[in-house]
Structure formats: structure tokens, C-alpha cells
Structure 1
Amino acid sequence: MIHTNSESDLTSMSSPKAYYVQSPSRDSNDETDKCSSTNGRCPSDSPLYSRPSAASSSSTAACSRVSGNRRRWNKHYCNVVAEEKGTAAYIDGDDDYDYGDRGYNSMLCKWLAVVVGFGMCFGGICLLVWGTSLPYKAQVNIKSLMVHNLYFGEGSDHTGVPTKLLTVNCSASLAIYNPARFFGIHVSSPSANLIFSEITVATGQMKKYYQPKRSKRTVLVRVMGRGVPLYGAGTALAAADASGGGIPLKFEFEVQTRGYLVGKLVQTKHRTRASCPLLINSKRTKQIIFEHDSCQYGL
């Protein structure tokens, strides 16, 4: 039997079937699920959908093109979302690192400010203490010189050159006063010399000692010279001694004081030099008393 298709049946079979396009979700939490799943299915992929044989070929081709476009669009969209999430995570990591770095720098600056402030305060106190100690200089006064023996004669030096030799033995007495109210001083003497015509005929040295605050002490310094060659000055010395007027000598003495104000970190130092002229006769040895104005004192 031949069945004849009507015009209406041919029209209904040749018309394309309906299809749908799913728009992307607005929920940000579904973006990753949407990228991991295949959302671009055509209605023809559904098992409930029955495909027509030949009449729906144009509809299938159209659906394939739309699905391909959707897959490409979904792939691009998912890449953009992944890049945005990676960038956000990287920015969050940088923010955490910057926050930790700023906290460390802030703590370092605080400790540095504390150390600098303490150093400035301590330095100011030390400077103030040092400034107040400057007026307290030790007072030195040479009181007397006792000549124990003095004689000269003919001889030769260590090279064998003939010359006059001088031997002298004496001791000097001096008073040292420490006027400081809040610190003691360490007193020493690097040199104590007896000089004749620019020739040192006797030397001595005072032993170092400690003197408390606001105290006075009398010190005895031994000055000795044995077999000192006089060379050309020997004739002048013998003539002065023979005249009975005495041998002109000069006694030079130096005193150094050191006070420790803040341990050894802050110190105060003073130096005093004294020079006293005197006459000594080899026939009459006695104690020579110095007046205060008979000696010159200086730095």
C-alpha cells in the first residue's frame, strides 16, 4: 500500500527542532563546578530526545556549531576565572608578607629609638659629670729639699773621656691636696729632676698612689745622681762651689692626677709642673725650705 504524505506532514518533519542555551550562573561558587563539568550539551544529547533520521540533519549541524561555540566560550571564561583567583591569592600572600615586614620594621625602629635615647641620656649624664669635675684640680706645693750629700771629682765617662763627675743624693718633700668632693684621684710623677746648666745631675720618681676626696697628703721623693759626667760644665761647677756662694741648681717636678668618675669610661686628668731654683754648697748640706712664691707652677 502506498502512503501519501500530506503537505502538512512534510512541513512538520522538515522544520528544525527547538534547542536551548544555558547562561552562566551568577553564583561565584558555581564557577569552578561549571568549568569542571560539561555544560554545553545539545538537546539532542539527552537520552529522552529521539533523533529523526534525515529530516533533522540541519538541526543537528546547527546544534553542533552552537555547542562548539559554547565550549570555546566556557573554556575562555574558566581560564579568566582561574587567573583571577590565582592573582587574588598572590595578592593576599603579598599583603601578608608586607604586613609581617612592616611589623618587623616597626619593632626594629622602636628598639633602635630606645637604644639611641638611652645612649643620649647616658652620654649627657657623663658629659655633665665630666664638666663638673674640671675645676677640681689637685693642688701641689713643694715644701723643702734635703741634701744628704754632694761631691764631685775627676773621672771619665763610659767611653773613657776624662771629665769631672758629680754625685748627689737628696730628697724633696711636697704636699698634694685633692679638693674634689665626690671622687678620689690617682697621683703619679713621671719625672723629678735636679738640673745644673741644662744637664740633669739627679733624677727621681714618685711612687703612684691613690688619694681620697678632700684630703691632703705629704709625699717624699728621692732624687739621686751618681758619677754624672759634667764635661765642659764641670769647670763652672767647681768654681761656683769654691767661691762659697753655692752651686746654682734647679729642681723640676711634674705631678699627674687621674680621677675615675664613671668607672674608666669617664676620666678627668690634670697635670702640674713646678720649678724651684736653689743653691747647694758641698761643704754645708742642709734642708732648703721653699716659699710658695719661690717656685713656679704651671700646666
Structure 2
Amino acid sequence: MHAKTDSEVTSLDASSPARSPRRPVYYVQSPSRDSHDGEKTTTSFHSTPVLSPMGSPPHSHAHSSVGHHSRESSSSRFSGSLKPGSRKINPNDAARGGGHRKGQKPWKEYDVIEEEGLLESEERQKSLPRRCYVLAFIVGFFVLFSFFSLILWGASKPMKPKITVQSIKFEHLSVQAGSDSTGVATDMISMNSTVKFKYRNTGTFFGVHVTSTPLDLSYSEIVIASGDLKKFYQSRKSQRTVSVAVMGNKIPLYGSGSSLSSSTGVPTVPVPLTLSFVLRSRAYVLGKLVKPKFDERIECSITFDSKKLNVARSLKNNCTYA
């Protein structure tokens, strides 16, 4: 073999096809979506060779491609991870109003407020009938109680006590000269007597408390003797006989006693007298709420006879009751 000259070498190189230089290979990393969770993502990188048409592409072009691809991948991944029925959030709205439009509440907060409003309305609907029930019970109770009290009052009113003045007995009666507290001379009368009457409670379901005004024995409209009745209680459907001492001591008669004077001091002529008093009975049917009252005014005409001292005089037919 002979050595090749420089011209041959040059011609050989020119005749042989030109070798193209090897182009550098670039790899782009793109995030992939995790298959296990739609909302949580993990970043995995897949290498994708990108060949630059010019052999050595500008770095700015490569970085722009990578950033654009990454944004599209992440945007598509985020939109795919949203649950059905959820509302997409506009980035512009998120930047302006914190993730929601101005004046519009997030859907979770809106649901909570709406649920609280429903609960409050249900509570009001439940509490209102309870108040109505309590009020109706109170009103009904008072109405029934008043009606019951009225029935008791109406039933007890006709059950008036029955009073009968039985007799009066004069133990002593005398008329003598004297003077009153101012020194005026006049006839003075003194007497002792006892009045008896029967009291019967006709009430079938209540007892009564009995009081009386003073029992006054008068002559010519001048009270010459008086007696006080001690109050007592009479149980239902029962009776008793009551005795009251009616007395007077040196009561001035002034001009009315001239016909009564005598040498013995005892009147020899009949002396007309009047016995009067008011008997009050009060029944407690339902405590102090229903307490019917029975008042009876009694007036009896009596004629004193000096021959019948210490003898009980019947007054059954001599009295009026009102």
C-alpha cells in the first residue's frame, strides 16, 4: 500500500458523506396524578425526551415549555380532583374575595346558618304550643274552680240556720229614786233576766261560726238591760240551746218611770218590754274562698208581770225573725 497524499486524503474526505453531529437529548419532568386519591396528589416525574430542532435549543424555550406543561398538568389534575357537585373556585375571585365572590357566603357556612335557622324555627314551634297548653290549663283551672265555688255557694245559701227564742225569766226588777251621773234626780231601774233560744244548723256539708249583737231589753225606747252572747261554732246538722243573761243596773228612766214607782219598788202594773238582737252566722264551705253569711234580726214583745218573778215566760209566739 502506498501512502496517501494529502490531496487524496482531502478528496476522500470530500467524497465521503458528511456525518451529522449527535443532537443533545432534553428531558421534561411532568407531574402525574395519583391513582389512589382524587384530592391528594403526589408528584411523580416521567422523563420525556424532547429533541431540539436546532441541536442546542435556547434555555428559555425549554424552561417555558416545562413551566407551561406543568401548569396545564396541575390545572387539569386539580379540576379532576374536585368532587361531583362541588363549585369551582375562580382564581380571580379567590384573589379578590378570599375564595368566593363579594357578598356571597361559602356553601358550607350558608348550610350551617340555614340549618340553625331551621332548628330555631322548630324550637319555636315546639315551645309555643307548650306555653299555650300551660296558659289554657291555668285558665281552665280557674274557670272550673270558680264554677265549682259558685255551685257550693248557691247550694249553701238556702241552708239558713233556724233560730227559735224559747223563753225569758225575770229574776229581779225594781224601780227606785236616784240621780244620773250629772246629778239630775230621776227614777232608776235595775233588773236581772235570762233569755234562752235554740239554734239549729241546717247545713248538710258545712259548719257555722255564730256571733251576735248585744241582746237589748228596752222600755219606751230606753235600753234598760243588755246581754252579750259568746260566739260559738255549730257543726253541720246539729243544734244547741243558748242562754244569755240580760241585766241592767240603775238605768235612769227620767220621766218615763213615774208610772212604775211603788212603795215596794216592784212595779204593780204590767210593763211592756222589747227584746231585740241580730244573730250573725258565717259558714266556711271552702276555706275562706266560699263563706256564705246568714244574718237574722230577731225582735220579741214581752210583758213583765210582777206576779211571775223567777218563772220562765214562753216567747215562741211573741217573736219575729227577719
What TM-score do the two structures reach when normalised by structure 1?
A: 0.69
Letter paired with 1:210:
Y
Partner Cα separation in structure 1 for residue 257 and residue 216 of structure 2? 18
Give the C-alpha shift of residue 176 in structure 1: 1.5
Aligned to 1:293: 317
- Indicate yes or no: 2:263 matched with 1:263: no
Give the C-alpha shift of residue 113 in structure 1: 1.5
Aligned to 2:299: 275
- Indicate yes or no: 2:314 matched with 1:252: no
Q: 2:158 aligns with which of 135, 149, 157?
A: 135
Aligned to 2:256: 233
Partner Cα separation in structure 1 for residue 295 and residue 275 of structure 2? 17
Residues 188-197 or 278-287, more deviating: 278-287
The two structures, once aligned, show a CA RMSD in angstroms of 3.5
Tell me, yes or no, if the aligned pair for 1:185 and 1:210 is still in contact at 8 Å. yes
Letter paired with 1:189:
S
Letter paired with 2:188:
L
Aligned to 1:150: 173
- Indicate yes or no: 2:127 matched with 1:117: no
Aligned to 2:234: 211
Q: Which runs of 5+ in 1 are unaligned?
A: 1-12, 41-68
Partner Cα separation in structure 1 for residue 235 and residue 94 of structure 2? 100
- Indicate yes or no: 2:140 matched with 1:108: no
Partner Cα separation in structure 2 for residue 243 and residue 171 of structure 1? 19
- Residues 73-111 of structure 1 deviation map (CA, whole Å, 9 limit, x = unaligned): 876953344277656544443443333333333212212
Give the C-alpha shift of residue 197 in structure 1: 1.4
Partner Cα separation in structure 1 for residue 93 and residue 229 of structure 2? 109
Give the C-alpha shift of residue 218 in structure 1: 1.3
Aligned to 1:64: none
Letter paired with 1:146:
K
Aligned to 2:210: 187
Tell me, yes or no, if the aligned pair for 1:149 and 1:282 is still in contact at 8 Å. no
- Structure possessing the higher radius of gyration over alpha carbons: 2
What TM-score do the two structures reach when normalised by structure 2?
A: 0.64
SS of equivalent residue, structure 2 residue 288: coil
Give the C-alpha shift of residue 181 in structure 1: 2.3
Letter paired with 2:309:
T
Letter paired with 1:126:
S
Letter paired with 1:271:
D
- Residues 184-233 of structure 1 deviation map (CA, whole Å, 9 limit, x = unaligned): 32222222110111111111122222223222321111111112222343
- Indicate yes or no: 2:221 matched with 1:198: yes
Partner Cα separation in structure 2 for residue 92 and residue 117 of structure 1? 38
Q: Which runs of 5+ in 2 are unaligned?
A: 1-60
Aligned to 2:20: none
Aligned to 1:51: none
Tell me, yes or no, if the aligned pair for 1:151 and 1:282 is still in contact at 8 Å. no
Aligned to 1:97: 120
Partner Cα separation in structure 2 for residue 265 and residue 74 of structure 1? 72
SS of equivalent residue, structure 2 residue 285: strand
Tell me, yes or no, if the aligned pair for 1:275 and 1:297 is still in contact at 8 Å. yes
Change (3 A) 1:110 1:280: same
Tell me, yes or no, if the aligned pair for 2:149 and 2:286 is still in contact at 8 Å. yes
Partner Cα separation in structure 1 for residue 85 and residue 178 of structure 2? 118
